[in-house]
Amino acid sequence: MIRVTELTKTFEDFTALNKLNLCVNKGSVYGLVGVNGSGKTTIIKHLAGIYSQDGGEVTIDGQKVFDNVDIKKRVGYIPDDLYFFPSYTINALARFYSKIYKTWNKDRFDSLLKGFNLDGGRKLNKLSKGMQKQVMFAYVMAVTPDILILDEPLDGLDPIVRRQVISIMMEDVAAREMTVLVSSHNLKEMDGICDSVGIMKNGRMIIERSLDDLKTDVHKVQIAFPVDDTDISEKLQNLIILRKEKVGSMYLMVIRGKESDVIQHLQALNPMVMDILPLTLEEVFMYETEQSKEVPL
């Protein structure tokens, strides 16, 4: 289990993380999302043992991460900004990894390389960014990590390779109960693989829930009221409305709360038409992170 408690990190006069809390259960896939500058990469570098916190605690299976070699051996980390030793070929760096990690699986590395249609004799600095990400994924998965931490892992990959990477990752989650934390701007893909989601803003965790609960607590409602009812705004004050828009006589509202309570409240207003529409993770993220924008009713 990954647990972050009251984590604080500052860089000179800038507070990157402000008493942030995070919890990832064993064998689950956790999606970390947030606008640029929200602190996602900073928390990831703490989990990878690169940064030391200014306050709070970062643990994996109850052990502190920073300067903990035993924990780091179990963690696979792919940063957004990749670095490779200059002039190394794919196979030369693989031999380097095999000497460091006792869990290195050469057969699996060779199989992944073949699946990605990559030549092990090629120099890493001559590969495209997308190909470098494929190679790094092959290195990390060949180590057989217990915890996989990914920062924008699918950026620069074509759709076919994206599906390959996700499929390989999910196979290990199912077979070995590998724990995954992934940060990505591609919320459509995360929507289909994550068990839980943490939404960050300004260095804080503003929402952390299972994906099912997150969607259950936010509802997109299409509704029309009687034309002679001029007092709707006042009657909606008891609802937590994240967004309101009007198109003709129809209103589109995004409302946070228990679905049965929201429906009961709206039905009491005797609407002419009311439909509950499905929400995507991308929409939930957008409505939760932006300020409420309302069009007067």
pLDDT, residue 242, reads 86
Question: Is 2-213's fold the same as 217-294's?
Answer: no
**Domain spans in the chain, listed from the N-terminal domain onward:** 2-213, 217-294
Q: Note the CATH number of domain 217-294.
A: 3.30.70.120
Look at residue 295 in the predicted model and tell me its pLDDT.
40
In order along the chain (297 residues), what is the average pLDDT of each group of 10 residues?
96 94 96 91 96 96 95 94 91 95 96 96 94 96 97 88 94 96 85 90 91 85 76 78 85 89 90 89 80 43
Report pLDDT for 125: 92
Determine the pLDDT at residue 297. Answer: 43
Residue 231: the pLDDT is 63
> If you write DSSP's letter for every residue of 91-121 in order, what string do you get?
HHHHHHHHHH-TT--HHHHHHHHHHTT--TT
CA distance 166 to 163: 5
Measured distance CA(47)–CA(16) in Å, rounded: 15
Q: Looking at residue 294, what is its pLDDT?
A: 42
CATH class of 2-213: alpha beta
Closest alpha carbon to 239 in 222, 260, 261: 261
Predicted pLDDT at 238: 83
Token representation of residue 96: 């380097």
- Closest to 245 in 3D by CA, of 263, 220, 272: 220
Pairwise CA distance, residues 116 & 157, whole Å: 11
